Amino acid sequence: MPQDVAVSDEWVKTTCNMCFNNCGIKVHIINGAVVKIEGNPDSPQNWGKLCAKGHAGIMDLYNPNRVKVPLKRVNPEKGIGVDPKWIEISWEEAIETVSEKLKKVREDDPRKVGMMSFDLDLVSVSGTVSAFASAFGTPHVWSGGSYLCGAGLHPVVYMMHGTFSFDPDIEHCNYLILFGSQTGFLQDSNAVLRATHMADALARGMKLVVIDPVCSPAAAKANEWVAIRPGTDAAFALAMM
């Protein structure tokens, strides 16, 4: 590199947002370009560990197909294989376009608007959407995480523990049954940290039993895999009770 070219070399501590775990990461930046991502050893979310998806975050950043500006569809025709003919527009034009459409709907009947979000970030996404919907005047709010992907988990946990989610106490548990779950095997809301705890627990002698029709990664690492027939989960649970 020529001597007269300035070289900036820094590590920036931030957070990975590619899953619920939100691992602490360190990003290596040289001359304004990200060249490496690795786990932050000071973060209690992952203590320096980082999954393959987190390491690959650099691919998302520099993906040539990444959408960086608002796009407007100019082809009114729709259908499979039909080119929507997107064109780039400014943020000002995008905000103005959406505002005009929302204003017309609100003057007619605000309840015609439905707000949808996903709960990857409960405060900044779902909370903001709910607040906007309330101010706009529509009761139609939908959150994918609470009512779709976690429909079997969150209602039960709310009733049993009064909280959004829960994890087994792997650090102190000596006999763990995973019933249709892969907690501790890079799954669930604290994936990376739980994987470390699961590995430590198995190493110290905790017995793991996995009940699942499929020989999942968890079942493959378990002391005992109970391969029940698909659809017999309720009968199995009632028999245990």
Mean pLDDT of 191-203: 92
Q: Tell me the pTM.
A: 0.69
Residue 221 pLDDT level (bands cut at 50, 70, 90): very high
Tokens of 60: 């998302």
The shares of helix, strand and coil residues in the chain, as percent rounded to the nearest 5, are 35, 20, 45
Residue 71, Cα to own-chain centre: how many angstroms? 25
Q: What is the mean pLDDT of residues 48-69?
A: 93
Banded model confidence at residue 153, pLDDT cuts 50, 70, 90: confident
Question: If you search the block for the tokens 């000071």, which residue do you land on?
Answer: 42
Q: Rounded to 5 degrees, what are φ and ψ at 76?
A: -70, -20
For 230, the token pair is 């698909």
Higher pLDDT, residue 111 or 162: 111
46 touches 55 (CB < 8 A): no
Residue 234 exposed, middle or buried by CB count within 10 Å (0-12, 13-18, 19+): exposed
Q: What is the pLDDT of residues 73-84, one digit of tens each?
A: 999 999 999 999
pLDDT tens for 9-54 read 999 999 998 887 889 999 999 999 999 999 999 999 899 999 899 9
CB 183 within 8 A of CB 216: no
